[in-house]
Amino acid sequence: MAEFTGKVALVTGAAAGIGRATAKAFAAQGARVVVSDVNVHGGRETVAQIKEQGGTALFVACDVGDTKAVDALFDQAVHDCGRIDCAINNAGVDIEMQPEPRWDPELFDRIFAINVRGVYHCMRREVEHMRTLGAGAIVNLASFAAIAGVPNKPAYTASKHAVLGLTRSAALFYAQHNIRINALCPGSVNTAIIHANFAIIPGGEATLNAANPARRMAEPEEIAEGAVWLCSPRSRYVVGHGLVIDGGQSVQ
């Protein structure tokens, strides 16, 4: 039997990249997946790919920076699926990479609205619901930037530090309610977001890979495996942890 048969997993930011790979990984393990994203076309494509592989999924559009939209997402997900056992708060933006840091208050607010407030909005509904179930698992997408500084990304780096702090604080309280909350801290991942930055990095992908002990970026599926593991019974003693998946970059 697949590990998540009979379970429901919610994945935000699931129209592409890590989110799509994570949604497909949960579906492959038997979960019914609620795919959510502000990108309607991409989200529906993810659902179609899951169904093509024999899985079960539905799409609910949501801008996680909008409290009312998050409430609508959770109301519909619970109405249609009856429960949410696992939640992957993956939706986020990385729009800042420039040759020099951008000290732009509007940019700061936009990044925090999605990367931090979005996670907060989702967790608010997730922990409330999971307490009624008596159990649950939540994984927040942080970043390598949650544990280290990135020179030209002050707002993004601050936002991911905040996600990890939010994860740890909530994990301490909700562990007593059998809700495990953890975070993923990926390094460079082969997605459209990072490809958009290659033109700004001298040497592009080659430079990025040369700086990593593994000499490559991660594939989205490798990060998705971490998310699935953190929600599985195999990690039942893991609480408040920021799981770093970065090819060794952070230990140099």
Catalytic residue positions?
156
Ramachandran bin of 219, using left for φ above 0, alpha for ψ from -120 to 50, beta for the remaining angles: beta
Rounded to 5°, angle at Cα 102 from 213 and 88:
55
**DSSP designation for 247:** T
Q: Assess contact for 223 and 188: CB atoms under 8 A.
A: no
CA contacts within 13 A on the Cβ side of 187: 19
Identify the bridge partners of residue 9 per DSSP, sorted by sequence position: 33, 86
Residues 192 and 149 sit within 8 Å (Cβ to Cβ): no
Compute φ and ψ for 23, nearest 5 degrees: -60, -45
Comparing CA positions, the residue from 114, 106, 107 lying closest to residue 89 is 114
